[in-house]
Amino acid sequence: MQKKIILIIPILFILFTSKAQQFNEYEIKLVYLYQSMKYINWPDEKTNSSEHFTIGVYGPENICDLANKMLSSRKIANKPCKTIKISDVNSAKKCDAIYIIDYKKFETIQILNALKDFPILTIGDQLQDFCQSGGMINLTDKAEKYRLELCPENIIDHNLEVSTQLYPISKIIKTEEVIF
Amino acid sequence: MRFHCAVILIKINKVKIYLLVIVSFFYLNTSGQELNKADKKQYNLGLDYFLDEDYNSARVIFEELFITHADHAELNYYIGACFLNTRYLKQNAIPFLLKAISEDKDMIPSIVHKDMGDLYHMSYDFEKAIYHYNKYIEIAPRKDIYLDHSKRMLEVCTHAIQVIKDTLDVNIYNISAPVNTHNSEFAPYTSADDNILFFTRRKFYTDEELKNTPNPDTLSQLFIAKRTATGWGEQSQIELKGIDLNQDVSLAGISPDGQFVYINALNNGQQDIYKGQYSSDNKMQLEPLPYPINSEYWEGKVTISPDESELWFSSERPNGIGGKDIYTCLMQEDGSWGIPELAGPEINTPFHEDAPFIHPSGKIFYFSSTGHNTIGGYDVFSLLKSEQKTMPSQNMGFPINTTGDDMYFALTADGRHGYFSSSHGNKYGNHDIFKVEMNLNIPLTILKGSILAGEPLRPVGAKIRMLDTKSGNKMKYVYNPNPETGNYLIILPPGRDYTMIIESEEFLPQSIHIQIPDQIEFYELFQSIKLLPIISLGKQVGEHIQINNSFNESSKKESVEKDYDALFNLIDNIILQTDSIDEISKESRGLNLNTAKKENNTIEDNEFADLFASVDEAFNTGDTSTLSKIYNDAIVPDKFEQVFLYSDSEEEKDNLTQVIVGADTILTSPQMATYDEKTAIKASHNDLIEFKAEETLVIIDKKEEIKITPSMLRRSKPKDRRVILTHSFFFETNQKAANDSAINQISEITELLVNNNNLGVIIEGHSDALGQAENNMILSKKRSMWFLKQAQSLGLNPNRTILKYFGETLSTNNPSYDRRIDISIFELKAN
């Protein structure tokens, strides 16, 4: 534990003292997105089906471009990341993960319903009742204590695995708590 | 003997130098006697060119003779006079005129001393200028027309000695191409955010070009340049309409948000000020400013306060105190301009005043004057405006001010830079635009925003009224977003609460509270507003407003350049050493014992490397505080939203907010606070219903079972419900499902319900009176259930439904009407 503290100090020092560390909202969120995906396991048949790890973005083109810039040199499931903009469910079904930005609840539910039998990680961008609607990981507002909402049951239901490593930084949503 | 006498008018910038050339020479004697016959012939040829005002040709000949006759007084005199008639080589006249004076004092007219005074003044040799002005005053005839000028120039030189002694330590830059060219650029005005530059350009001809151009283009054109990442981008010429294009125009000023441009133009014999709105097609329709701002006399430049309540302009109307003066004018309650009043003696003098500019803060006023303690021509002066007392104007000092004309000074809203045009020391043409580093610290806030509306989103015609919330809602500021872009720029004193009233087409007026942080520096804040219609069954049933504010400190204009690489190696090393942390923290702490492993990625050396590393570390250690810190340090806007659904009820006014703006009362959708997050959340979800599982109603329909948990929505009384939308579905005889076209309508209704958690729906099933009453009751129930199940499959939680069925009990004599379900969507009233 002592080693842990000692090692964290220089990082915090750099983080808190360097004025160069001013990122914008989606730069931060894409890093959270990426880091979250590192703690997910996909079934072998899914990961073997393509040479890329494909992230589909339901959202603005510029965020998709930013995701490509930030993630294209990185790997998930030992495959290089590729980000594509999608707007229909058929395209989404070909992805390993989808990131839904600025969609209303009704549209989101239709997407999630269409993907309910597929091992595709679903990540929402501060979407209302995302996990309660069948989503897996929801990025939260900056004012929230936890950076993620996480619904392990929804993840498992889609034949994916999630590391408990994500739990401490997440608000865990249980499906029986669906109250809307 | 031939005697030549000529009066030659020479202009050096706007300082007129009159050189009275009394040419007295004798072909065969007096001072010409030193020349041999061949030289004399050349001399006379040069003289002919000189008298024909072809000074370049004359100078060439005189300079050839000068090689062998350097002490020849007249030759020196004429070479000096030729230089005086150039545009950029006037100073070269000094040694020749001095030589002429020293060689033959009696031959040289007294006015040469005045000219020498002017030349020395322009050369910043004020002591010598004073000597020559005094000499001129001493020997000139008593009623000489240049005596007053020389006496004034003695004062100017005295000022100049003092001002130069206090030279400012500032950097001045020529802003270069593509704005500055070999043509003449002048009268620059930038928007408050320094992103748009308007300027005037006049074609410049060299002396040689001018000589060979029969009809030179002397008309000025208006241009705009927009800032890019690397500086001012390519400029575009603006096509002006509504004025005589055959007359010269000049930029007269711009509104602080850069949307409105003022032009000084000669039209129908009147030199007036015109106003036009800039549009992206670079065409501008101009309208004259109303009387009494424009008059039958000359009106020049104009500036307007950020709240557009006060305007200053220059005019040469006869009730001034001399020359061009600056007048001020207040906007009246009815929106018209009041009677212009002459600005005070801290601005106006018996000399010329022009080019007023009020800084967006309203605290600093700049103008140009040939009076006060100018060091020559027009100088720029500043005046600190205070409600308590009138401060004296200050000469902006050297090197902003020079001995030439220095005009059109405008300071950017952040106080960092000033722009002005000047003819001195430039390399591109006769006038160029210069930028000066001022580095003033001005506590001022610029709110830059955009308002888009509709589906799909587009710019919308809107009016924004800014009210100072604390001062009793007195109307203060009115802004019109650009109809092409929806962009607006609002300048606000910091540390206050404001109410934005947004009136736009097709939407209710919006009332938004914002708080501008109290700051001691200049800040740019960013805001985006989206107005979205809520449409169901082809009807607009409400509106959804989304506001993103970036008001925190991280949005300060001067953000630090991202340079991540310097930290990357250090962090990378730290991360590599923390592998053991994984083992420590990989404890099972939740529901799932899954052991999915973290990916081993090679972190690329790029600008985001340290961000990835920091988040990676925080994820590994479950360090939520670090993650929050990363988030809080980022530029992340505060997001607020509110849904307002319309109702046709007579009590609808009760749901609106009454805002008094001056003499107007505006009914707006419920007020939205955007500065207190708790308040904002409350405002945006004030109708959010807590669903409590106190009782459970179980509806069993043969094989299917639907649990409905009573909620506040379900338990509410009809009088507490505000109906948003009603619709009926009709059925064929004995059918429990409506036709296929109803599915799309159910989808739209469900979308409205799902997207708005505060809505409930009443489903009322009916049947006709045909057949047995008991069967009809079951049929009406099935019809209600059919709707419920369809909606449920699309995501509607049945807890929000009130399901009723009446069988034939409410039937009419119209069976096709009776076979129906009535859908009624409602929300609970606020109180």
The model's pLDDT over A36-93, given as tens digits with 9 standing for 90+, comes to: 999 999 998 777 778 899 999 999 999 999 999 999 989 998 899 999 999 999 999 9
CA distance A60 to B457: 13
Share of chain B above pLDDT 70, in %: 81
Most confident region among B203-212, B365-374, B753-762 by mean pLDDT:
B365-374
For residue B483, name the pLDDT band (cuts at 50, 70, 90).
confident
Q: Choose among A27, A113, A164: nearest Cβ to B594.
A: A164
Per-residue confidence (pLDDT) for residue B312, from 0 to 100: 96
Instruction: Give B547-593 pLDDT, tens digit per residue.
Output: 988 876 544 443 333 332 333 333 333 333 333 333 333 333 232 33
Model pTM?
Answer: 0.74
Task: Write the DSSP symbol of residue B430.
Answer: S
The closest alpha carbon to B749, from B723, B771, B727, belongs to B727
What mean pLDDT comes out for the span B199-228?
81
For residue A176, name the pLDDT band (cuts at 50, 70, 90).
low
Per-residue confidence (pLDDT) for residue B647, from 0 to 100: 81
CA distance to A121, A149, A170, per residue, from B589 (Å): 22, 16, 12
> Taking CB atoms and an 8 Å cutoff, what residues of chain A touch B612?
31, 34-35, 74
Q: With 60 as the cut, is the pLDDT of residue B630 above it?
A: yes
Q: Choose among A12, A19, A146: nearest Cβ to B626.
A: A12
What mean pLDDT comes out for the span B676-685?
38
The closest alpha carbon to B757, from B800, B706, B795, belongs to B800
Q: Please name the residues in contact with B136: beta carbons below 8 A apart, sequence gap of 6 or more.
A: B110, B111, B113, B114, B117, B146, B150
The C-alpha of B356 sits at a distance from chain A's nearest C-alpha, in angstroms, of 40
Per-residue confidence (pLDDT) for residue B388, from 0 to 100: 63
Q: Indicate yes or no: CB of B630 within 8 angstroms of CB of A28.
A: yes
Select the more confidently predicted residue: B131 or B209: B131
Per-residue confidence (pLDDT) for residue B262, from 0 to 100: 95
Q: Choose among A31, A39, A73: nearest Cβ to B611.
A: A31
For residue B651, name the pLDDT band (cuts at 50, 70, 90).
low
Most confident region among A140-154, B476-490, B562-576 by mean pLDDT:
A140-154
Q: Which of B161-175, B325-339, B569-583 has the lowest mean pLDDT?
A: B569-583
Q: With 90 as the cut, is the pLDDT of residue B297 above it?
A: yes
Q: Which of A100-109, B163-172, B253-262, B646-655 has the lowest mean pLDDT?
A: B646-655
CA distance B432 to B200: 10
CA distance B697 to A134: 24
State whether residue A28 sits within 8 Å of chain B by CB. yes
Per-residue confidence (pLDDT) for residue A105, from 0 to 100: 93
Q: With 50 as the cut, is the pLDDT of residue B480 above it?
A: yes
State whether residue A142 sits within 8 Å of chain B by CB. yes
CA distance B441 to B669: 39
> Taking CB atoms and an 8 Å cutoff, what residues of chain B touch A128?
757
Per-residue confidence (pLDDT) for residue B461, from 0 to 100: 83
Amino acid at B652: E
Per-residue confidence (pLDDT) for residue B636, from 0 to 100: 78
Q: Indicate yes or no: CB of B601 within 8 angstroms of CB of A75.
A: yes
For residue B697, name the pLDDT band (cuts at 50, 70, 90).
very low
Most confident region among A100-109, B164-173, B208-217, B627-636 by mean pLDDT:
A100-109
Distance of CA B395 to the CA centre of its chain: 27
Q: Indicate yes or no: CB of B620 within 8 angstroms of CB of A165.
A: yes
Q: Indicate yes or no: CB of B612 within 8 angstroms of CB of A31.
A: yes
Select the more confidently predicted residue: B85 or B693: B85
Q: In chain B, which residue's Cα lies nearest the Cα of A21? A: B562
Best mutation target, B534, B546, B574, B592, to test chain A (most A CBs within 10 A):
B592
Per-residue confidence (pLDDT) for residue B475, from 0 to 100: 54
What mean pLDDT comes out for the span B805-814?
91
Residue B567 tokens read as 């930290």
> Taking CB atoms and an 8 Å cutoff, what residues of chain B touch A114?
none
For residue B326, name the pLDDT band (cuts at 50, 70, 90).
very high
For residue A11, name the pLDDT band (cuts at 50, 70, 90).
very low
Q: With 90 as the cut, is the pLDDT of residue B233 above it?
A: no
CA distance B792 to B154: 93
DSSP states of B781-812 as a string? HHHHHHHHHHHHHTT--GGGEEEEE-TTTT--
Per-residue confidence (pLDDT) for residue B472, from 0 to 100: 58
Select the more confidently predicted residue: B404 or B390: B404
The closest alpha carbon to B224, from B276, B171, B174, B289, belongs to B276
What is the edge-to-edge ordering of all strands in the sheet holding B287-288?
Answer: B249-254, B260-267, B270-277, B287-288
Per-residue confidence (pLDDT) for residue B652, from 0 to 100: 65
CA distance B662 to B654: 22
Instruction: Give B65-80 pLDDT, tens digit per residue.
Output: 999 999 888 899 899 9
The C-alpha of A134 sits at a distance from chain B's nearest C-alpha, in angstroms, of 10
Based on the number of CB atoms within 10 Å of its own CB, is A149 exposed (0-12), middle (13-18) or buried (19 or more)? buried
Select the more confidently predicted residue: B132 or B5: B132
Q: With 70 as the cut, is the pLDDT of residue B515 above it?
A: yes
Share of chain B above pLDDT 90, in %: 35
State whether residue A17 sits within 8 Å of chain B by CB. no
On average, the pLDDT of chain B sits at 80
CA distance A60 to A20: 26
Q: Which of B200-204, B261-265, B660-664 has the lowest mean pLDDT?
A: B660-664
CA distance B668 to B657: 5
Q: Please name the residues in contact with B260: beta carbons below 8 A apart, sequence gap of 6 or more.
A: B254, B275, B276, B277, B278
State whether residue A2 sits within 8 Å of chain B by CB. no
Q: Please name the residues in contact with A112: beta carbons below 8 A apart, sequence gap of 6 or more.
A: A122, A133, A134, A135
For residue A127, name the pLDDT band (cuts at 50, 70, 90).
very high
Residue B812 tokens read as 């009419």
Indicate the pairing of strand B487-492 with strand B445-453: antiparallel
List, as ranges, residues 87-126 from A with C-beta within 8 Å of B.
104-106, 109-110, 113, 126
For residue B705, name the pLDDT band (cuts at 50, 70, 90).
low
